[in-house]
Chains A and B, each alone.
Chain A
Amino acid sequence: MIIENLRSIGHRIVNAVWRIGYASRFFMLILLYSGVSFRRFHLIIKEIFSSGVMSLIIILVAGLFVGMVLGLQGYETLKRYGAESALGSLVALSLVRELGPVLAALLFASRAGSAMTAEIGLMKATDQISAMALMAINPIARLVAPRFWAGVISVPLLAALFSVMGVFGGYLVGVVLIGVDQGSFWSQMQSGVDFRYDIVNGMIKSAVFGVVVTVIALFEGYVAPPTAEGVSGATTRTVVQSSLAILFLDFILTAFMFQGE
């Protein structure tokens, strides 16, 4: 009984390590075959449409509401210290540094990442991938690499759009509804947000998240058991694992970037 349990724990650990190794090899393969997909750029454009453009609505609406909430909550808190004029820099800094990259990547993982997994997994289940390999078409170069690059290009752009919509939402609530002074809102924001330190670091973050989310999504689809159950399990794992990976990596990257001078 005890040995059985130990054996199953060991099996799980070995399996997890095996998956990590396979995923790293898969990532290297994607990079290796990227050249082919860049020469056929319309494949990438098609994938940018289905993952990036189709995520626009949810990103814009979510960004607007997150910014509005930030404006409201920030005002409530700052009012206690008589520092309402710092509302602009509070909203902008929290969006540009953290919420923009992280929430855009989380939304992208659940909106587009899960779709990628299901698509690739179903293609595998219906033997489309084997058929491609039989016709001497490399499925990684034809199917996986374009989706990967589409994700890597889309996520930073979506994060930037999220941040801008959030700042606009904060402006709507803070300045238009509550009546914080417009001049101090923008000038505090501009003196508080540094281009290289805040905005560029935020963009680096979201590019890293884009790589991680798409690699997890594509890998889960590619190794999913070719059954209905297998594909549904892979989709769930994509969302769970990429969300956890985003939040964990966010901590690591933040620790590197904003050590506090």
Chain B
Amino acid sequence: MTRTTLDLWVGIFVVAGFAALTVLALKVGNLSTYNTSETYQLQAYFSNIGGLKSQASIKSSGVLIGRVSQISLDSERFEAKVTMLIDKRYQFPKDTFANILTSGLLGEQYIGLMPGGDEKFLKAGDEIKKTQSAMVLEDLIGKFLYSKAEDSN
């Protein structure tokens, strides 16, 4: 085989390989949904984060606006400290409410932001003061049983 046909075949092979990688990245993977726009950081403290993981989504009115970047236990307050990266395009009032919610009955957990009425906006590095922890199924059942017992008395 002459060198040009050889080169052509190898070229086709390499191009096909890189095309496959691109398909993997864009169609199979989530590279197309990666947020390349600028973000700012917010913190929130939760007494229980349930099954929240880093890279979990942050939604407001169901729209994806950011991701959880870090979760750690604050050793002074003994609460979970959740660091969030929010898209710069979206600003939230100071009295925004952060809830840990579950998508579907058994789906993954995410943070929902409910904006309040304050006229000042949260700046980079601020803390969201009003938070609500994750629903833990055991607590829920416990509460239910407790209220049932009260009813029957």
Identify which of B1, B17, B30 contacts A190 (C-beta below 8 A): B30
A103 sits at the interface (CB 8 A): no
Q: Report how far A45 CA is from B17 CA in the complex, Å.
A: 15
Cβ–Cβ contact B29 & A194, under 8 A: yes
Cβ–Cβ contact B30 & A261, under 8 A: no
Q: Report how far A194 CA is from B30 CA in the complex, Å.
A: 6
Cβ–Cβ contact A157 & B13, under 8 A: yes
Q: Pick the interface stretch among B19-27, B36-44, B85-93.
A: B19-27
The interface on chain B, measured as residues whose beta carbon lies within 8 A of the other chain's beta carbons, has a size of 28
B55 surroundings in chain A (CB, below 8 A):
194
A167 surroundings in chain B (CB, below 8 A):
24, 28
Contact digits for A48-84, partner B, Cβ 8 Å, 1 yes 0 no: 1100110010000000000000000000000000000
Closest to A56 in B: B13
Cβ–Cβ contact B9 & A164, under 8 A: no
Contact digits for A131-155, partner B, Cβ 8 Å, 1 yes 0 no: 0000000000000000000000110
A198 sits at the interface (CB 8 A): yes
A213 sits at the interface (CB 8 A): no
Once A48-B10, A49-B10, A52-B10 are accepted as A-B contacts, the answer to whether A203 and B21 lie under 8 Å apart by CB is: yes
Once A157-B18, A160-B20, A164-B23 are accepted as A-B contacts, the answer to whether A48 and B28 lie under 8 Å apart by CB is: no
Q: How far is the CB of A67 from chain B (nearest CB, A)?
A: 12
Identify which of B9, B24, B25 contacts A53 (C-beta below 8 A): B9
Q: Report how far A199 CA is from B21 CA in the complex, Å.
A: 9
Q: Report how far A251 CA is from B21 CA in the complex, Å.
A: 23
B146 sits at the interface (CB 8 A): no
**For chain A, what secondary structure do more than half of its interface residues adopt (helix, strand, loop), or is it mixed?**
helix
Q: How far is the CB of B111 from chain A (nearest CB, A)?
A: 16
A45 surroundings in chain B (CB, below 8 A):
6-7, 10
Q: Report how far A45 CA is from B5 CA in the complex, Å.
A: 11
A261 surroundings in chain B (CB, below 8 A):
53-54
B25 surroundings in chain A (CB, below 8 A):
195, 199
B12 surroundings in chain A (CB, below 8 A):
53
B34 surroundings in chain A (CB, below 8 A):
195
Q: Report how far A164 CA is from B21 CA in the complex, Å.
A: 8
A193 surroundings in chain B (CB, below 8 A):
28-30
A253 sits at the interface (CB 8 A): no
Name A residues whose Cβ lies closer than 8 Å to a Cβ of B: 42, 45-46, 48-49, 52-53, 56, 92, 96, 153-154, 156-158, 160-161, 163-164, 167, 186, 189-191, 193-195, 198-199, 203, 261
Name B residues whose Cβ lies closer than 8 Å to a Cβ of A: 1, 3, 6-7, 9-10, 12-14, 16-18, 20-21, 23-25, 27-34, 53-55
